[in-house]
Structure formats: C-alpha cells, structure tokens
Structure 1
C-alpha cells in the first residue's frame, strides 16, 4: 500500500472518530465532565475518556508489515514485524491540551498499555511514548492558559511534532533495525498528517460545542432580560397579585410552557393555562415548598403509572423568585411531558431566577438608601428649629425681667411660629409663598426682640410664588445675617432678602452689613457643621446639605464678603415654570409636582 493510499485511509478512519467525538460532546454526562475543572474524580473521568478515544484511534488504524498492509477496521494483536499506522495520538494530545499535563499523561498511559497489549515491533516504545506525549502536550498548553480552549492553528502546530517524536522513539527502542526503518518510512508521513489535522479538527469541534452552549446560554439570558424588563416594574411594590399576573402573562407569551403559575410564600397569586389548580393543593406540593426552603430550582416529572398533576400536565419546573435568603415566591412552569423540559428551559429558568433575584436586591437596596436619605433629611430639619428655639427662649428669659409684656407677646408669637413649622416641615419641598409666610412669622419675632436696631428688607419678583424650596431654608440664613449684622453694631443693622429670576433658575440672596466672616471660616461654612457661641453654622450646614440632596449640587450655598463690610449668602433654585404647584385644597400646605 503506497503512502498516498495509507494517508487517505487514515483520514477516512479519522473522520469516523470525528463523528464519534461529535456524538460524545452532545451527551449531557460527557458535557458535564468537559465543563467541570479537571481535578479529583472529574480529572480521572477525563483521563479515561481521552484514553478510550486513543484506543479507538488504535483500532481504527491500519496494520502495516514490511510487504503487507491490513485495512480491517478492528485490528487484531500484531505480529513481531508489524506496526500500526494509527490515530491514537489524537486522544492523547487532546487530553493534554484540554485537561492538562496529568490528564494527558493519564490518557497516554491508558492508550500506551493498550498499545503494549497489541504488541508488534513498536509495542514497548508506544507504552513509553504515549504517556510522555500526553504530559508534554499538557505542559505546552500551559503557555496558552488564557484561552479556555486552545486555538485550532496552535493545536495543528503541536500535533505535527507528536507523531514525529513517537516514530523517533520507535527507532530508538528497536535500535534502528532494518524492519523498523522500513515501517517508519511507510507510516511516518501518513501519521504526521492524520494526527496533526485530526488534533486541529477535534479542538475546533470542542470549541464549537462550547460556543454553541455559550450562544444558547446568551440567548436564554437575553430572553430572561426581555421578560424581566416587562415584569420588574410590577415587582417594585413586592410580590402581589398584579405583579404575579403580569409575570405569568409575559412568560406565557415568551415560553413554550403549557401553563404558568406564580405564588408568594403562602398562596397561588396568578395562573395562566388550562383550568386552575386549587391554591392550597398547589402550595402543598413538595417541590414548591422545597424551592421556597432551599432557594433552588426544582423539577417534577410524572414517572411510570403515576397520575398526572392536573389538566393532563405531567412535568414542571419550580423557580424561586427573590434575593438571597428566603425567596418571596415561586414561578412554576408546567409542561405536558417531561421530554419538554430541555436544557434550554433549565438555562432560561436559572438565568431568569438570578436576574430577578439581583434586580429585587438592587431595588431593596435603593429603597433602603432612599429611606436612609429621608431619615437624614428629617434629622437635619429637626436640628434647625431647636437651634432657633434656644435663641428665642434666651431672649424671652431676658425680657421677662425687663419687659414682661413684650416677653408675653414674644412667647405667643413663638408658639404660632412653631405650630406652623410642625406642619410645614413634614414635606421635602414647599411653594415659595409658604416659605415666605414662615419667614415673616420669624421676622415678627425678630422685630419684637430687637425693636429699631435691625431692618430686614424682603424683595420677591412677581410670579415666583409656586417655585419649590426646602422648608426653613431662608430663616436660618436670615438668622445668620441677623447675628452678624448686629454683632458689631449697637444699631443700624440691615439684612436684605432678594429672590429674582436668573435665566432658567431663581437666585436667592441674603445679605447683611455686619462685620463679615473670617476667611478661614468662610470656606468651611455650609460644608461642615460649625457650632459655638453666637454661631449659626450648624443650621446653615443643614440648609446647604438639604439643598444639595433635594435639588442638586447647583443649588448649594455660596458665601462671599461684601465690600465695605458684611456677608452675602446666595443659592439658586430650578424655575419649573409651572412644573410645580401648591395643592390649595390640602390643609397641610403640601407642595405637589404636576405635569407642566
């Protein structure tokens, strides 16, 4: 048999092995073995798998003698002057490239022991070279560790050297006898071509199988995203009947399930499909309770003569819905036959469960964060009024001794001011006209305290009444101006409050003619709490933090010295041009956003 015929015959036999490998990669058990790490029992299974592939390559070889060639498919043990032209190296090299050095050596040992059993002139050399070549293939694969599956061109390059090294060892073990030289000359080139091309094709086949699985997983994840996008808006308020109905309807449209059920932890909330099962019987199903308890996907299939579940449905997949810990409910996908529960359905169920869990966890975190911000804002708001209250009570204590009537009036006005504050500050934003009423109540107290020693001027551009502002924003700033306006003046203190439009925003300014603020405090005021005798730094800081939290960084307070003495504090508000309005029928004076 000439070299060309032998080469074609080996390629033909290699094609049969390729078909065998294709079938193996589509067996679920084999796919699980290939997917898992090559360690422990799984490593041993991989070594056996590739070793058996190597033995198949041996039996698919051609027996070659000095003057003969036997092309029978299942080769018998060889004679003392016979040698096998085989494809056994494909399984051994694949074991090393895909599983690593120890897997390659294990597969080589299995294949080599079988080659020694087959005998022939190269039996002993094959028993040594097969494990060695599997080990070397695994060591070489470490240079390409960043690739999950080595690229076919690289595998082709590695596959060329394995048969060359093996035939060289045959000559070494037989001390280059005339018979061995003749046989190596016959089988050398065909084995190099068949083994290298075979390793390349087999690696490409395995890569294609993994990519097919990845594409299927990506497709199911895409389906899960599309369904979750429709369902998640309904789940924001938790697992209720409305969210369950939307989930069941979306899944019935997208999946090939015969029925869909959605539960919370206690009852069946929604069901789409033939008939409707009893809620108590549904929740009593062991697989449903197991999915709720373990937070893992569970399947249920009718076996043998067992009765079907209901409405001729014979199989189901139960998917827990919820974040880490105990799920908030279960999604049940029912099918008429267990054969309909393919891996693609399980991939979708797994992806959908993980996606819903992560999204619900994120929504819960956002809800908790929002509650935390609201609590923080309310805490800052609560700090403003006690600060003002303490200053006013100190004034009342002083006036009780020198002007009891004025102290009585001041006490009444303070009570009215605090009563309105308790209602107004329940909401994050109020209309500007409510804020001005609150400021005027404060100024009434101030005028009673300081008589003619202080002048407060207010100027508000018409049309700004409905602009929204955090409550008690102006009062602490005016209080800050009052203290600085009178600290170094026995009389003649002036505080000006001005609100006017500036482009698409409203600019608010509070200015005093006091002694100003030291430069080292000017840059810190509003950014950190500053407390001390005669200081309003804590109240100003709280105002600044609420402005930024509710209206954005553009609304932050800006402090600057006024030429000639004094301090100017300013900030800007969004001019919504009707985007907000006050609900005149609400006794709480709550501001409400409406469509502009």
Structure 2
C-alpha cells in the first residue's frame, strides 16, 4: 500500500506541475472565473485534456491486485482497473468552472476510461460516477460574487475526500472485483487525490493572491496618477493636456504605448508606434473608430483586430476605452502592448477604471468652468444692483445749484461723470485699483455733501499704495451705507473714518462711524441676507458681502461690530497689485 501511495503521488505530482505551468500562462489565467459560454467551452476542453492525461498516466492493476507500472496506458484488459488522478481533475473542473463544466468533463473522462478498457460493459459506471462528481464539486462551490476568490485548500481537501469516496462507492457496488479492489486502493487514492486537490487549489489561490497584490499596487499607482492628471483634465481635452496626461499614464503603468484621441484626430501618443501614431493626424486604427461609434470598450489581442494602417506597426494588443461626458463620446483612451500575452484581466480592469476616472475629471473641469462663468455673471449682476437712486438725487441737486452757482454745478457734473464712469467700469471689471475706488468715493461724497452741507466729516487714512486692487464699490458702498443709516436725523457731529492699510498679505479696510449703532436684532442679518428698511431694501451690504466671498474666500466677508457709540465694518482682502485673474491663486486660498 505504501508503494502504491508513492506511485499515486507521482501521478498527482504531474497533474499539479501542469496546473502550475498553466496558471503561469496568460491564456489560462484569462479563463479563471470568466462566465462567458466561450470561456466555459475552453475550460471543458482544457480539463478534458487533463483528465485524459490522468487516465493515460495511471497505474494498471489486475484482478489479483498486481500493479503494472507502464509509462502510457493507451489500453488495458477488460478485467483490469486503473489507479489515477482522474477524479482530482474532474473535481477541480467543477470547482473552477461550475457544475456544468464539471459534468461535461466527467462525461469526457468517463467515456475515455471505457475506451481504454475496450468498451467493456463492466466499465459503464465510470460515466455516471464522473458526471455526478463533476456536478457535485461545482454545486458545493457556487459563490461567484468575488472575482478574486476560490475554494480554500482545506475545503478542497474535504471535497476531494468526498468525491473520491463516491468513486470508491461506485467501484464497490458495480465493479466485478468490488471489495477486493476497494480494500487495496481506497486509502491511497482517497488520501493522495484529496491532498492533490488541495495543492491544485493552493496554486490557483497563490496566483489570485498575487493578482490581488498587483491590483493593490495598481490602485496606489492609479491614485497617484489621478492626482497628477487632474490639473490637466480640468483644462479640458486638448492637445496640450493630452500630451501631459499620456506621459503620466506611461510613467505609472506597464503599457508599451498610450494614446488619447478626440473623435477625429490623435491628440497625443507616447511609446511604441510613435513614428506613425503622430499627434494631429487622423485616427490610425479601425478599433478607435469602432469605439467612438459604439461607445463600448474594445479589447484586441492581435494586430489585425487593432486595424492600424501602418503594416509594420509593432502594436499587437490594445485596450481602447471611450471617454464620455453626459453620455456623449468625446474621444478615446488607448493602451497598447507589443506582445499580446501581456494582456490580462487586470490590465483590462485598470484601463476601464482609468477611463471612468478620466471622464469624471473632464466633466469636473467643464463643471468648474461653467460654475466660474455663472459666478462671474452673478458678481456682475450684484455690482449692477448698487443703489441707482443716488443718480436721480444727484441730478436734482445739480439742477437746483445750476440756478445760482453755475461753476459749482459744472464741478458737480464732472464729479457725477466720474461717478458714472466708475460705475460703468465696475459693471465690466472684477477689480479696480484703490485709486479708482477712492476717486469714485470722492465723487460720491462731494455730490452727497452738496445736498447736505456740513452734515458729515469724512476722514481717510491710507497707508498703502494706490495701485493695490480691490472689487469695485467696496469702500463706496460702506460709506454710502453709513451716510444713509448711521446718523438718523442728527444734523451735525457726524464722522466717518476710512482706514486702509496692509497687514501681512492682506489688505485691511475699516469704515467707522460715530452713529447711533445697529440694533441687536439686525446685526447678525446684515451682509448675510437682504434687510428691509425705511430707506432702502438692504441689498447693498448683502451684495457686497456675496461679491467678496465669491471672488476670494470666506475670510474676505464683512465683519460688523456695533454699539451705541457707533459701528465698525472691517474687510480683509488678499493683497495684490494687479488685477485678479480666474486662474490666479492667492497665498491665502
């Protein structure tokens, strides 16, 4: 029995070595857990070859339990039996491919076993036993939810033990030498084949574990890749952004070439085939045209399927994925290999995932552009809402003065012109210089003080250069608000102080009045929502606050403090001496 166990271990060892070699072959790896009919047919053929080899490398045993150790068993006597690893192969076929794969492999190996015996009638039971074993093996392992999952080696040992025991039961009841044969071969075959099943599954589990580690490494690389490509995709799909993107993809992946196209032209290509896949040229491959037309990812494992117009193109395998925005294909992402065996399910999943990420990045970029346009439109709208009633009051004042002081009226008209011009500039520009803002404030104050002589004293303290930039109407709105609301019916001793200075990298603006203060019920509402009052709708400070936050940051919002001694409004803006651009970022942001 010990000698038989050693011989059985040799046969099982051959099957395990074949399994290890096949797991190393990309073709076999692609079949693992592939649910397509085509893949299952290939699995049936593959395991059938395994099973027939197990039959042919078995050990012949005659009716007297004498072993005949031949190299290849093409045929045996009708009364002899074979000790082999056939049940191991059928069991693994069921575990890997499912009940129907296991059953069909069982039919093939059972029929071959009968042929070996010269189509002897007493060997008929090998067909139903093999079919039952293949079906049960697949049925016992029915979890197909996880791609990277297989029956554990320990469970494989138990299944192998059970399946070989079923085979022994068939031999016991239907073989002419039943008990005598089972008594001699049962223990070695059950033990060795069970261990063999466990080792076979361990090899596959080892490969799948390596695949998981590879996926983890790729995930880390994808995160880095995504982080580096995001700034370019946010610029939109252009030639410049695409050329930077393909360099980054090539850096973090093992593809031999990477391309990005729009619907008609190559935007960027790096790696093998760069001599004829030239940016700016029309699409070179029929595969790309097909992806753009169908919107489906395509995988090619042969150069003919790629359909490159260049006969000497070195690219042999490709994954071409569509880049979509709002269900519209705007281009393709293409990843190539010069050797088709490099193409595995991991690479296909990687390409698919990258394509989805990149499409989202492009969509994010477009959304940001649209959001910026909307924000700009809102800012312009808010600027246009600055109190128009002032214009009518100023015209009425100039008309009244014109009757007795034409020189004064002329000067006021010039100031009104300055104010008009500043409003027109403010409606178009996001920012203006401090000097322009102060000119507007001066024009406003002169017109207002003409209406109410000696009612207000304005003090301006400026400790910064006049070429610093700020949003239009920033100071003017604060001054206008103080004049309208701070002093009530008080006719004199009304002071407004404007302080402008720089602190670190911020422009600090403070407007202080000695008015009657703001009630506690209103102090938290001002600037955050329109406040209805007897002298206006309360939109001015609200609009200013929204403009400042929209242009810069939350730190630029209005800060208001008030008591019975007066009100202080503070603004802190990023300090810069040139006009703010949308693609410019400040240190404070």
Give 5+ residue unaligned stretches, structure 1: none
Is 1:395 the equivalent of 2:393? Answer: yes
Residue 471 of structure 1 deviates from its aligned partner by 3.1
Q: Which of 86, 89, 103 does residue 88 from structure 1 map onto?
A: 86
Residue 392 of structure 1 deviates from its aligned partner by 0.6
CA offsets per residue over residues 193-251 of structure 1, 9 Å max, x none?
22222212222332344456667778888889999998887777667666677788889
- Aligned residues of 1:582 and 1:589 also touching (Cα < 8 A): no
Larger displacement relative to structure 2 (67-76 or 289-298): 289-298
- Aligned residues of 2:233 and 2:241 also touching (Cα < 8 A): yes
Residue 458 (structure 2) aligns with: 456
Larger displacement relative to structure 2 (113-122 or 154-163): 113-122
- Aligned residues of 1:582 and 1:591 also touching (Cα < 8 A): no
Change (3 A) 1:90 1:445: farther
The CA distance in 2 between the partners of 1:104 and 1:346, in whole Å, is 23
Q: Secondary structure at the match of 2:525?
A: coil
Residue 543 (structure 1) aligns with: 544
Q: Which of 170, 178, 181 does residue 179 from structure 2 map onto?
A: 181
CA offsets per residue over residues 162-199 of structure 1, 9 Å max, x none?
3234434544x35xx99433322322222222222221
- Aligned residues of 1:224 and 1:348 also touching (Cα < 8 A): no
Change (3 A) 1:415 1:322: farther
Residue 362 of structure 1 deviates from its aligned partner by 1.5
Residue 430 of structure 1 deviates from its aligned partner by 4.6
- Aligned residues of 1:316 and 1:332 also touching (Cα < 8 A): no
- Aligned residues of 1:77 and 1:120 also touching (Cα < 8 A): no
- 1:486-525 aligned within 5 A: 486-487=487-488, 489=490, 492-500=493-501, 505-525=506-526
Is 1:199 the equivalent of 2:197? Answer: yes
Larger displacement relative to structure 2 (326-335 or 199-208): 326-335
The CA distance in 1 between the partners of 2:309 and 2:341, in whole Å, is 19
Q: Secondary structure at the match of 1:93?
A: helix
Residue 141 (structure 2) aligns with: 141
Q: Which of 3, 16, 19 does residue 18 from structure 1 map onto?
A: 16
The CA distance in 2 between the partners of 1:591 and 1:139, in whole Å, is 61
Compute the TM-score of the two structures, normalised by the length of structure 2.
0.75
The CA distance in 1 between the partners of 2:38 and 2:151, in whole Å, is 23
Q: Secondary structure at the match of 1:283?
A: coil
Residue 134 of structure 1 deviates from its aligned partner by 3.8
- Aligned residues of 1:297 and 1:319 also touching (Cα < 8 A): yes
The CA distance in 1 between the partners of 2:56 and 2:337, in whole Å, is 47
- Aligned residues of 1:159 and 1:196 also touching (Cα < 8 A): yes
Residue 476 (structure 2) aligns with: 475
Change (3 A) 1:105 1:300: closer
The CA distance in 1 between the partners of 2:188 and 2:98, in whole Å, is 27
The CA distance in 2 between the partners of 1:589 and 1:103, in whole Å, is 65
Change (3 A) 1:321 1:12: closer
The CA distance in 1 between the partners of 2:189 and 2:122, in whole Å, is 14
Residue 485 of structure 1 deviates from its aligned partner by 1.0
Is 1:534 the equivalent of 2:538? Answer: no
The CA distance in 2 between the partners of 1:549 and 1:560, in whole Å, is 22
Change (3 A) 1:536 1:433: farther
Change (3 A) 1:186 1:130: same
Change (3 A) 1:188 1:318: closer
CA offsets per residue over residues 504-543 of structure 1, 9 Å max, x none?
6454333344454454443333333445653464332332
Q: Secondary structure at the match of 1:440?
A: helix
- Aligned residues of 2:285 and 2:309 also touching (Cα < 8 A): no
Residue 284 of structure 1 deviates from its aligned partner by 7.6
Residue 4 (structure 1) aligns with: 2
Larger displacement relative to structure 2 (523-532 or 553-562): 523-532
The CA distance in 2 between the partners of 1:301 and 1:490, in whole Å, is 91
- 1:165-564 aligned within 5 A: 165-168=166-169, 170-171=171-172, 173=173, 179-210=177-208, 283=282, 287=286, 289-290=289-290, 293=293, 309=310, 313=313, 323-324=323-324, 325-328=328-331, 340-344=339-343, 355=354, 358-359=357-358, 362-363=361-362, 365-389=364-388, 391-396=389-394, 399=397, 412-424=414-426, 426-460=428-462, 462-463=463-464, 465=466, 468-487=469-488, 489=490, 492-500=493-501, 505-530=506-531, 534-535=535-536, 537-562=538-563, 564=564
Change (3 A) 1:140 1:442: farther
Compute the TM-score of the two structures, normalised by the length of structure 1.
0.74
- 1:67-106 aligned within 5 A: 67-72=65-70, 73-74=72-73, 76=75, 79=78, 82-106=80-104
The CA distance in 2 between the partners of 1:591 and 1:581, in whole Å, is 16
Residue 63 (structure 1) aligns with: 60
The CA distance in 1 between the partners of 2:256 and 2:358, in whole Å, is 27
The CA distance in 1 between the partners of 2:302 and 2:93, in whole Å, is 37
Q: Secondary structure at the match of 2:510?
A: strand
The CA distance in 1 between the partners of 2:212 and 2:114, in whole Å, is 41
Residue 4 of structure 1 deviates from its aligned partner by 1.6
The CA distance in 2 between the partners of 1:590 and 1:239, in whole Å, is 19
The CA distance in 2 between the partners of 1:514 and 1:524, in whole Å, is 19
Q: Secondary structure at the match of 1:528?
A: coil
The CA distance in 2 between the partners of 1:394 and 1:386, in whole Å, is 15
The CA distance in 1 between the partners of 2:143 and 2:273, in whole Å, is 58
- Aligned residues of 1:221 and 1:352 also touching (Cα < 8 A): no
The CA distance in 1 between the partners of 2:177 and 2:258, in whole Å, is 73
- Aligned residues of 1:228 and 1:352 also touching (Cα < 8 A): no
The CA distance in 1 between the partners of 2:499 and 2:161, in whole Å, is 87
